[in-house]
Chain A
Amino acid sequence: MLALAPGVRLIDLAMAKGEGDAINDLVRWGMLVDTSKCAEGCDACVTACNEEHGIEDFGRPETDAQWIRKVELKDKQTGREYSLPLMCQHCDDPPCVDVCPTGASFKRADGIVLVDKHICIGCRYCMMACPYKARSFVHENLTNQKSYSPRGKGTVESCTFCVHRLDDDRAPACVEACDTEGHHALVFGDLNDENSEIAQRARTVSNRQIREDLNLNTGVRYESI
């Protein structure tokens, strides 16, 4: 691989994605969560996600969809408390994709795990398989959907990393909201690009995956837990 200048390589230029080009695996989208900056009680990321994707509150918490949620943790031994957002971890080896009978659950070449709403039969096996409880089943009729984020009753859904925004080089809604709040707890970017902020921080600051024991190589990593 020929380096033209620090951070610019010939192969990257040759494979730079133009409009209409297929997604490729040169990019691996990921997110780094700094839990020390994630404020307890703040749910700006959750609100932004609901707004972005038109996720309604039907007042039925057991069946209402949640693509991202705030989880509060307390170490039983030491009493130390943590707060963090939890969503689809965009695994490199996603169990939801393994178990899906029709292939509706799939992983894009750039690492984003999605559901093809057209071939999801609503069996919910992926929800049984997901180690992170990241998926929701649409339990009711929906209205006022966003054209860029189609949803459907009787199908399963989860965080898309705001894939529609990525095409416009915009960060996911949760990341933007966290920055707007001034917390800057979420860093989003290309894990494969060694010069990106996320790759540099992930390389230098200690971080971990949730349920590392499953060896799923998640796209979402957590600092300070």
Chain B
Amino acid sequence: MKEILYQTTHGRNVGYYLLLAGLLCVIGVALYAAHYMDVNGHHITGMNNQIVWGMPHVFAIFLIVAASGALNVASIASVFGKIDYKPLGRLSGLLAIALLAGGLAVLVLDLGQPDRLIVAMTYYNFKSIFAWNIFLYTGFILVVAVYLWMMFERRFNRYSKPIGVFAFIWRFILTTGTGSIFGFLVARQAYDAAIMAPLFIVMSLSFGTAVFILVLVVTYKWTQRPLSDNILKKLRKLNGIFIAAVLYFVLAYHLTNLYATEHHGVERFTLLEGGSITFVFWVVQILIGGVIPLILLFARRANPRVSAILASCLIIIGAFGQLYVIIIGGQAYPLQLFPGMEVSSSFYDGVAGIYSPSMPEFGLGFGGIAMALLIVVIAVRVLPFLPASLANLESTESNSVGDTQIARV
């Protein structure tokens, strides 16, 4: 039996308050952006009747997908019994809730009628995957909250496994629901594919683990707690497998499309002639977000800490690229209403949709990220989420004051 000492962050240092102030500023900007969009209407954004979902959706879906993946580490400990990951379980659950809350806030504030949130909560069309997602997302927060409770409360520790299994299944269904937002769209060439659900699941595993690694490293650096390279080595290997899986699913998606003449148009658009979409696909998604991280994560001689941090940053940049290609690229390619015809109209039929993201959209998106981080920063200060040391599992040394809790693993 090993013991872990969990400890809140502490001290009245300037850095902490500066961080809080910085995050609150970003959230303030986001709220102003949302207000500005609400008062003026969406014409002040880059979104239009061709590209109806824009940058807020790229940010929101990134956060929602990463939320599901951030729970990986807890799942590996509770569901698959890997004891080494157990000390990280609390942070994993916290990040999952925080990222999801940030993502949902962005989605809601982008609505044409954000004040009608109560309508979305009271009128349901259960044939809509969106309606299901409202339950899956809010339910996820609840399930993970209970899961955290089981992890925190020593008397209930034994229930963390069954609840962990339940949360694990829930997050699979949740990400299936997120991928199916696109998979169920029969009208558009880039969507209408069953692979969207599993693709989003592997994306969530990779993006969520990348965010987890960064938050872990930065938190331990700033709170001056020891973090062993062994943990990073394990996480690095894990994310190497995940990013390889993402690349494989992307390959399978495009190969299948390239086989069918019907989809040659959309593939030519994404892979060759789509301008910024093509650039983002090859350079940001594939090279920066896929190939380079894959090499970094599997390079034996690479410093585990440096390579894990660098690869995580690149994976997150690539994740935004991938979601940009899926969301914006999928809409930019025109609907194929008259195959074999040249089409023109006053409503942009037959031509690629044009989109230039606007400042309010970025403001809103970064606000979602800031909100997620703010939740984490406050939570680790008031509750013992973080082990005092991750130098090795036997250590129960406390290097400072603060609320502590010892848990056995």
Contact = CB atoms under 8 A, between A and B. Distances in A.
Interface residues of B, number: 48
Interface stretch (A21-29, A57-65, A178-186, A196-204): A57-65
A23 B335 CA distance: 33
B41 A133 contact: no
A210 B339 CA distance: 10
B337 A119 contact: no
A69 B345 contact: yes
10 contacts: A62-B48, A71-B345, A73-B342, A95-B187, A100-B125, A124-B52, A125-B130, A127-B49, A129-B185, A133-B335
Given A73-B338, A128-B53, A122 B111 contact: yes
A120 B113 CA distance: 8
B128 A122 contact: no
A124 B47 CA distance: 11
Interface stretch (A1-9, A135-143, A159-167, A169-177): A135-143
B184 interface: yes
Nearest to A127: B52
B185 A140 contact: no
B345 A72 contact: yes
Interface of B: 38, 40-43, 48-50, 52-53, 111-114, 116-117, 119-120, 123-125, 127-131, 134, 181, 184-188, 331, 335, 337-338, 340-349, 354
B185 A128 contact: yes
B123 A102 contact: yes
A86 B131 CA distance: 30
Contacts of A103: 123-125
Contact of B112 (A46, A66, A131, A137): A137
Nearest to A125: B130
Contacts of A214: 186-187
A148 interface: no
Counting from the closest, the 8 A-B pairs by CB-CB distance are: A122-B112, A154-B112, A131-B187, A101-B130, A62-B48, A139-B43, A140-B41, A102-B123
Contacts of B185: 95, 99, 128-129
A75 B342 CA distance: 6
User: Dominant SS at the B interface?
Assistant: loop
A100 B181 CA distance: 11
Interface string A13-52: 0000000000000000000000000000000001000000
A121 interface: yes
Nearest to B338: A73
A109 interface: no
B73 to A, nearest CB: 32
Sorting the interface of chain A by its residue count into under 10, 10 to 19, 20 to 34 or 35 or more gives 35 or more
Given A103-B123, A138-B112, A140-B41, A131 B186 contact: yes
B127 to A, nearest CB: 5
A104 to B, nearest CB: 8
B122 to A, nearest CB: 8
Given A121-B116, A138-B112, 18 more contacts: A61-B348, A64-B49, A66-B49, A66-B347, A69-B347, A69-B349, A98-B127, A101-B125, A101-B131, A102-B123, A121-B112, A124-B52, A133-B347, A133-B349, A135-B49, A141-B41, A154-B41, A211-B337
Nearest to B108: A121
Nearest to B107: A123
A63 B117 CA distance: 24
A76 B341 contact: yes
Contacts of B114: 122
